[in-house]
């Protein structure tokens, strides 16, 4: 599944590893995709469940899981360019789905970029609703019933 030795490490927003995760999010979303830095970090980060994927101690992937009533919302899924298409994103998503199950949630949703739709569909997510623009990028809601 993963083409390399990757460690998945949950972390809190105040942990030392959070700084590296934030830097990766800025690199992927802001530098690569043009998302405004002012909206990348938001009010959901402090209370979210965060995950880092580490390769030789370096953060190469990150995501967050936020509880919203009886469902979980996965977001800010970012993988370093050097580690894409190697199973890192899938491993992180499986962790988030299992976390949501462990929390007793019935559904997981995410706001997926259209380019990433096939990836999320391969994990069992189903697109729903209309395509919309978020931060200048086309998105669609994706849902996974647990």
Mean pLDDT of 23-40: 96
In a domain, 31, yes or no: yes
Predicted confidence (pLDDT) at residue 15 exceeds the cutoff of 60: yes
Three-state SS at 122: helix
Predicted confidence (pLDDT) at residue 1 exceeds the cutoff of 80: no
Say which residue the tokens 């580690």 belong to.
83
Assigned token pair, 41: 């970090």
pLDDT of residue 4: 67
DSSP per residue over 47-87, as a string? TSEEEEEEETTEEEEEEEEEEETTEEEEEEEEE-GGGTTTT
Q: Which domain holds residue 74?
A: 7-145
CATH number of the domain where residue 13 is located? 3.40.630.30
In a domain, 2, yes or no: no
In a domain, 1, yes or no: no
pLDDT of residue 5: 87
In a domain, 27, yes or no: yes
Query: Which of 127, 120, 131, 55 shows the shortest CA–CA distance to 94?
Result: 120
Our count of domains for the chain comes to 1
In a domain, 115, yes or no: yes
pTM above 0.85, yes or no: yes
| Sequence-ordered list of residues with C-beta below 8 angstroms from that of 71, at least 6 positions apart, any chain | 100, 105, 106, 107, 108, 109
User: What is the percent of the chain where pLDDT is above 90?
Assistant: 95
In a domain, 124, yes or no: yes
């Amino acid at each position: 599944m993963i083409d390399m030795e990757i460690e998945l490490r949950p972390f809190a927003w105040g942990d030392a590893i959070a700084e590296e995760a934030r830097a990766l999010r800025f690199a992927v979303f802001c530098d690569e995709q043009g998302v405004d830095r002012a909206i990348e970090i938001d009010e959901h980060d402090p209370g979210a469940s965060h995950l880092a994927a580490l390769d030789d101690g370096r953060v190469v992937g990150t995501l967050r899981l936020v509880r919203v009533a009886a469902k979980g919302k996965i977001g800010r899924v970012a993988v370093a360019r050097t580690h894409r298409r190697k199973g890192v994103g899938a491993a992180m998503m499986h962790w988030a789905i299992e976390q949501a199950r462990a929390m007793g949630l019935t559904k997981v949703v995410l706001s997926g970029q259209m380019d990433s739709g096939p990836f999320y569909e391969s994990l069992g997510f189903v697109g729903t609703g209309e395509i919309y623009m978020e931060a200048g990028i086309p998105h669609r809601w994706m849902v996974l019933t647990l």
